[in-house]
């Protein structure tokens, strides 16, 4: 799915994000490991915001990437930084709070 309209707004609604991730769009969680274990999307890949610059080699450059955090502030900063580095990245509005409210799967514990 093309996120070009979402890119101009820099955010995407959680309901749409849930559907996109189910269809295989990569999801990056930029929270800290302690937040991750409390609850995260099963298909997310944890890259804490402070490590993002050093770990961009783990991310695809040829596809859209969704970015999530707890409430949306960190994911907005992360998505902006990724776009500046020429990635196609969009923040999920409302973060994990909105993800869960939209019916997105949440699991606890686990390794990254």
Asked whether 74 and 30 are in contact (CB, 8 A), the reply is yes
DSSP letter for 24, please.
T
Q: Could you give the strand order of the β-sheet that contains 64-68, starting from the edge strand earlier in sequence?
A: 11-12, 88-92, 64-68, 27-29, 44-46
User: How many whole angstroms separate alpha carbon 88 and alpha carbon 39?
Assistant: 25
Over residues 77-102, the mean pLDDT reads 97
Look at residue 73 in the predicted model and tell me its pLDDT.
94
Q: What is the pLDDT of residue 19?
A: 97
Give me the residues paired with residue 88 across strands.
64
In the predicted model, what is the mean pLDDT of the chain? 91
For the question of residue 69 being annotated catalytic, the response is yes
Q: Do the Cβ atoms of 44 and 25 come closer than 8 Å?
A: no
Catalytic residue among 69, 88, 89, 90: 69
């Amino acid at each position: 799915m093309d996120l070009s309209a979402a890119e101009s707004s820099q955010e995407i609604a959680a309901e749409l994000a849930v559907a996109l991730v189910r269809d295989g769009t990569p999801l990056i969680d930029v929270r800290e490991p302690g937040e991750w274990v409390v609850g995260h999307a099963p298909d997310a890949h944890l890259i804490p915001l402070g490590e993002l610059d050093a770990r961009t080699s783990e991310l695809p450059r040829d596809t859209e990437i969704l970015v999530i955090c707890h409430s949306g502030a960190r994911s907005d900063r992360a998505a902006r930084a990724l776009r500046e580095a020429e990635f196609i990245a969009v923040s999920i509005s409302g973060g994990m709070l909105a993800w869960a409210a939209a019916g997105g799967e949440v699991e606890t514990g686990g390794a990254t």
